Amino acid sequence: MRSGACPKCGRTEILDGVRVKVPSAGSVDDVRVVVAPTSGMLRQQTGSDLRAWICAGCGFTELYASDPGLLADRWRAGER
């Protein structure tokens, strides 16, 4: 959908880069994808915000990580 057209209905009006939030423990947090080391003493997580591309016609939604390169690097290094 980042190309500008909905793959489901073909409409070209796309809401791009919309923040995705979810309520948690009385507050609202951004949705993130997270990878973390599978072993070791320090397990610092690596995360990336998710942004939504939403079709204004049918509502079909795609999510994209804002920093996929960093996630991929950490994933290849053994973080899952």
- 12 and 4 Cβ atoms separated by less than 8 Å: yes
Mean pLDDT of the chain: 85
Write out pLDDT tens, residues 11-33: 999 999 999 888 877 777 778 77
Residue 3 lies in a domain: no
Residue 1 lies in a domain: no
Count structural domains, the chain: 1
Residue 48 lies in a domain: yes
Output the pTM of the full model.
0.75
Phi-psi region of 19 (alpha: psi -120 to 50; beta: other; left: phi over 0): beta
Residue 4 lies in a domain: no
